[in-house]
Amino acid sequence: MKYSLILLAAGQGKRMNAGINKIFIELHHKTILAHTLLTFEQDKSCEKVVIVGHPDELETIQKMVKAERSQKVFAVISGGEERQDSVKRGLAHIDEEEIVFIHDAARPFIKQKQIHGLLDGVRKTGAAILAVPVKDTIKMVHNHLVNKTMDRSELMAVQTPQAFHAKLIKKAHLEAERSGKLGTDDASLVEWIGEEVEVVEGDYLNIKITTKEDLLFAEAILKIESGSS
């Protein structure tokens, strides 16, 4: 089964506070964005990639695509204000009958096992996500007071990629836009229109690089992967 990829890179990385968009931070001499792209470049099921970048950074991204000799990137386009806007712009380049993966460029450690799991999952329901059980106890807190302790056995932390029949996710995005609904992930829009979402086992190493300390974890993961630890 083949799929197309929307690779999201149009954020600003504010929580990283690095003075540049975090996806351009280098790990082992390659940007986080390049690491992520190369994983999909090497995946045979991935047919084409749309990179959604910040309007001011499209040229930099184009240069990287050239330097890495990517065979799959067929468009580098401008993202929007919110992640959801960036996804919507990416979806405009995907045909209805395709399978589409939506992935954060800030998650460079995605593995074949999870990609294959998502392909199996999306075959079943038309929407599949990666999730791992949460390790911490999660509490709802209001004004510094505990409101409720959640039942941890039911809680999962969700990752990207998320995989969809393009027709379904396009419909979900359109209806969300009409109603002014903003979801924190793409699957939540599919849930919101009443469709099922298959949950596939994620990997704790598939971290999203968000804050400074995540760079330490990222370096450690790369060390393990390159066998130099």
Which residues of the chain form contacts with ligand CTP (CB under 6 A)? Answer: 8-15, 23, 52, 79-83, 86, 104-106, 208, 210
Which residue's Cβ has the minimum distance to ligand CTP? 11
Query: Going by C-beta distance under 8 Å and a sequence separation of 6 or more, which residues neighbour residue 219?
Result: 27
Site for Mg ion in 10-39 (CB under 5 A): 11
DSSP H helical ranges for 144-229: 166-179, 186-192, 212-225
* Residue 129 tokens, joined: 């996500």
Residue among 154, 148, 150, 151 at smallest CA distance from 131: 154
Let me know the angle formed at the C-alpha of 134 by 112 and 200, rounded to the nearest 5 degrees.
35
**E-assigned strand segments in 3-117:** 3-9, 26-27, 30-31, 46-53, 73-78, 99-104
* Window contacting Mg ion (CB under 5 A); options: 8-16, 18-26, 32-40, 219-227: 8-16
Nearer to Mg ion (CB atom), residue 16 or residue 176: 16
Tokens of 144: 């510094």
CA distance 202 to 118: 10
Minimum distance, C-beta of residue 94 to ligand CTP, in the bound complex (Å): 15
Q: Which does 86 bind (CB under 5 to 8 A by kind): Mg ion, ligand CTP, none?
A: ligand CTP
Burial of 148 (0-12, 13-18, 19+ CB in 10 A): exposed
Q: Which is nearer to Mg ion, 8 or 200 (CB)?
A: 8
**How many residues lie near Mg ion (CB under 5 A)?**
1
Smallest distance, Mg ion to C-beta of residue 13, A: 8
Closest to ligand CTP by CB, 123 vs 207, is: 207
Q: How far is the CB of 184 from ligand CTP (least distance, A)?
A: 9
Sheet of strand 99-104: strand arrangement = 73-78, 46-53, 3-9, 99-104, 156-165, 127-133, 198-201
What does 82 interact with, of Mg ion, ligand CTP, none (CB < 5 to 8 A by kind)?
A: ligand CTP
Using the minimum distance from each CB to ligand CTP, give the nearer residue, 81 or 151: 81
Minimal distance, residue 12 CB to ligand CTP, in Å: 5
CB nearer to Mg ion: give 11 or 126: 11
Q: Which residues pair with 198 in a beta bridge?
A: 128
Q: Which does 206 bind (CB under 5 to 8 A by kind): Mg ion, ligand CTP, none?
A: none
Q: How far is the CB of 215 from ligand CTP (least distance, A)?
A: 13
> Which parts of this chain interact with Mg ion (CB under 5 A)?
11
